[in-house]
Structure 1
Amino acid sequence: MASVADTKGIAVWRDSRAIALLMAATLTVMANAAISPALPGLQRLFAGDPNAAMLTRLLVPAPSLSIALLAPLAGLAADRFGRRRLLLAGIMLFVVAGSAGLFLPDLPTIFMSRIVLGVAVALIMTAQTALIGDYFAGEARSALTGLQISARNFGGLLFILLAGWVAAMSPRFPFAVYGLALLVLPLMWKVIVEPNRVLPNREAGAAAVGGKLPTWRLLFVGVVFLQALTNMFFFIMPTQLPFYFDAQGYDSAIMTGATLSVLMLTGGCVALLYSRIQRAIGYTGVFALGYAAMASGFLLLTLPQASLLSFAGAALIGAGYAAVSPSFVAITLKLAPPQRRGLAGGVLTASVFIGQFCSPLLSTPMIMGFGYVGLFLAATAVLAAMAAAALVGRVMRWHQASHHSHRVKRLN
């Protein structure tokens, strides 16, 4: 049985368990976005299907539906039966369901394979989040939450570049990218062992929020809602950007692959610095900075179209998303009691994909009514308001801390 570790003075990435969990993290980006460059080609390939326009757009977030429904159940299973089995089963199912689009005959069956792929991702992400909380504590855990987002982005960069390249040959070829998940299975099998989840009282989420169990649940609900909303805006990029570029007259497969690669690269670099940024400005400061960057990125996409502006906008959106995303995991692992980490991780995972699945369902009608510029302006306005709210929270916390410090000085 493995025990929790706070590897002070030791780089967390030197732990083989951390490496294995980071490799698993790369799969979650591949699950949805890897086929994004192929969407226009798939729409043309299945042009005879009267629902081709909507179905092709739903192929990217389709796994989100089953993840949203099953991740909490996977969390309960992880708490009851253990994390290792779920992680290994999820990876094997990921390979089978992900690559099925290579040979399935039509869009409805490909869509169903994407639903099954979501089951695999639910198992992987839920087990992975719980294992981070079980294996690591303190600064090591905080660093790993940032590295997890970085791994997703750098993995996404590699997979989307590869998918963009092979999509130019055939819109079916990006499905073969999912077979790469087989490469991580041997390491997982070797180093991931079932952890001892009886942790010290100081790690208990109830203690972290004042010892009242209902309190952590209320705060957790807020974290879940905010993460769903954040992902709804972020997922405009892989679901609508290919069609935006197509409407602008660009080679959508190549342009989408390049733009999303910039997004992933920038996000990966920012996530590497997450623990330092969070220590310097706190969670509210991270949210203010991240949402301001995302709002600025969508604003750039509304300007008269030039490829450099698209790249700059994607870079800002990727940086902002990578800044805020680790905070959701870090806050959840602090809030949730050890015996509820699986369930909390499952609900948190579900919130990511609820936001992703809702994204095209809400953004596509908005595009039809107001155009792409209208969609990007609406995203800019809401994200700017979220940044402003977080900034107000940060100023209020600073003012309270300053006031408390002055009172202490007067008393002394």
Structure 2
Amino acid sequence: MDKHNWKLKLTLLLVSSLTIMSVITISPALPRMASAFSGVTNATFLVKLVLTIPALMIAVFSPITGRLIDKHGRLKILWFSLVLYALCGSAGYFLNNLYHILISRALLGVAVGMSMTIVITLIADYFEGLERQKFVGLQIAFMSIGGIVFIGLGGILSDLGWRYPFLIYLSSLVVLPFSIAYLYKPTVIKKGNEATPFIKAPPIIWMLFINTMLMWIIFFLIPVQIPFYLKTLGVEKNALVGAAIATSTAFSAISSFAYSKIKSRFSFLTIFSMGYLLMALGFICVFFSSSFVMVVVAMMLSGFGMGMMIPNTNMWVMKIAPPAIRGKEIGKLTTFWFLGQFLSPIVIFPVLNVLSVSATFMLASGFLFLMSITFLVFHSTATGKLITQ
């Protein structure tokens, strides 16, 4: 592994970048897409589901993938997922029926549910200790950078037409040969271990799963609602919409890249508290914003907070999940991650029928402050053994 270590790491990072682009790439195109299908009943809501329905399928198929890879290995399932990703992701460019596009996006979610579960599991398989901690932060940073590139490109392409961003999904075919050439079968997998069904992860892992879901329900207000909010502020250029959302991913990359240093100074619980506080401040800025610049500042704060919490979650789950059931537990993590993304517009939809978008962000900021305080209290009362498990 040493000789080709950088190639293996680059391949893992490339596969990871496909995960983040799977959902947000078409975000800047949503308003134009809603206009194109304005004749369809509940078009605006359905178009938002086009953005998030992959998350539902990721949530459904991730635990299935986790169990499969624990029994049958990682790589062949990964290769299949990359091909499926390209076919179903690009389908939106060719389809003319909104419901057919929803189906293709659902199948895209199946592909991502496979690839994301596998790549996180492979990271846990290949690396240990400080090297794993550093790479987990690097992975989320790279995903965020990929998000900047893809959502920026999506914004530019959506100015040409709402269909063009769907072609970006063909990039998985570029990643496929790298995964075949440089990834190898981990040696930690032990098939036929009859004791495996009796191995369990510590109960605290369920707190991490539920927290992940809540995190994404709130954070996904940004790619789903900000494009429409910016339109109300008079921002017409989709490239600017993409740039605003990409700002959140840029600052997410910064904090994720620094995660190893942050973790060396703070506990898992303290990092969650700080992350939620920064997100709360960002959402308050959205409420008070009256210009594009103010929204960008809000994206900076929100992205920085989220960027430290994602690797924090992944690292903690990797640390406490027993190797024999690692795929299954990471599959559960992926499920709750994307279940939160899918549920976001559904949970927020009735709120938006009562409150404005800006007021909705203010309400969300109150919840984020509460989460920040909760983790701070948890930190002050939790035992050292619990924190370091």
What is the TM-score when the length of structure 2 is the normalising length?
Answer: 0.93
Instruction: Return the offset for 1:396.
Output: 4.3
Aligned mates of 1:224, 1:235 — CA distance in 2: 17
User: Does 2:85 align with 1:94?
Assistant: yes
Counterpart of 2:370 (choices 376, 381, 385) is: 385
Counterpart of 2:178 (choices 169, 179, 187) is: 187
Aligned to 1:219: 204
| Superposition pairs of residues 12-411 of structure 1, within 5 angstroms | 15-197=6-188, 216-251=201-236, 253-396=238-381
Aligned mates of 1:304, 1:333 — CA distance in 2: 39
Aligned mates of 2:381, 2:59 — CA distance in 1: 35
Q: Secondary structure at the match of 1:190?
A: helix
Aligned mates of 1:285, 1:43 — CA distance in 2: 41
After superposition, the C-alpha distances for 1:357-408 in whole angstroms (9 at most, x for unaligned) are 11000112211211112211111011111111222233446xx77xxxxxxx
Aligned mates of 1:279, 1:60 — CA distance in 2: 36
* Contact kept? 2:235, 2:241, Cα under 8 Å: no
Instruction: Return the offset for 1:345.
Output: 1.1
* Contact kept? 1:242, 1:252, Cα under 8 Å: no
Alpha-carbon distance change, 46 to 288 in structure 1, aligned in 2, over 3 angstroms: same
Instruction: Judge which range, 169-178 or 238-247, deviates more.
Output: 238-247
Q: Secondary structure at the match of 2:355?
A: helix
Aligned mates of 2:38, 2:377 — CA distance in 1: 50
After superposition, the C-alpha distances for 1:278-329 in whole angstroms (9 at most, x for unaligned) are 1111211211111110000000000041111100100111111110111111
* Contact kept? 1:126, 1:346, Cα under 8 Å: yes
* Contact kept? 1:245, 1:252, Cα under 8 Å: no
2:310 alignment partner AA:
S
Alpha-carbon distance change, 377 to 175 in structure 1, aligned in 2, over 3 angstroms: same
* Contact kept? 1:168, 1:254, Cα under 8 Å: yes
* Contact kept? 2:217, 2:340, Cα under 8 Å: yes
* Contact kept? 1:23, 1:184, Cα under 8 Å: yes
Aligned mates of 1:379, 1:270 — CA distance in 2: 22
Instruction: Return the offset for 1:170.
Output: 0.3
| Sequence identity (%) | 31
Structure 2 alignment gaps of length 5 or more: 191-195, 385-389
2:17 alignment partner AA:
T
Aligned to 2:193: none
* Contact kept? 2:148, 2:249, Cα under 8 Å: yes
Alpha-carbon distance change, 375 to 75 in structure 1, aligned in 2, over 3 angstroms: same
Instruction: Judge which range, 327-336 or 113-122, deviates more.
Output: 327-336
Aligned mates of 1:177, 1:169 — CA distance in 2: 14
Alpha-carbon distance change, 304 to 153 in structure 1, aligned in 2, over 3 angstroms: closer
Aligned mates of 1:255, 1:383 — CA distance in 2: 27
2:344 alignment partner AA:
S
1:382 alignment partner AA:
F
Aligned mates of 1:345, 1:179 — CA distance in 2: 26
- Corresponding residue pairs, total: 378
Instruction: Return the offset for 1:17.
Output: 1.7
2:252 alignment partner AA:
G
Tell me how large the CA RMSD over aligned residues is: 1.9
Aligned mates of 2:226, 2:67 — CA distance in 1: 36
Alpha-carbon distance change, 228 to 252 in structure 1, aligned in 2, over 3 angstroms: farther
Instruction: Return the offset for 1:217.
Output: 4.0
* Contact kept? 2:59, 2:335, Cα under 8 Å: yes
2:173 alignment partner AA:
L
* Contact kept? 2:217, 2:341, Cα under 8 Å: yes
2:124 alignment partner AA:
G
Q: Secondary structure at the match of 1:196?
A: coil
Instruction: Return the offset for 1:254.
Output: 2.6
Aligned mates of 2:89, 2:15 — CA distance in 1: 15
* Contact kept? 2:279, 2:365, Cα under 8 Å: yes
Aligned mates of 1:158, 1:146 — CA distance in 2: 19
Q: Secondary structure at the match of 2:266?
A: helix
1:388 alignment partner AA:
I
After superposition, the C-alpha distances for 1:66-103 in whole angstroms (9 at most, x for unaligned) are 11111100110010110111211111111110000011
Instruction: Return the offset for 1:213.
Output: 5.5
Aligned mates of 2:199, 2:276 — CA distance in 1: 30
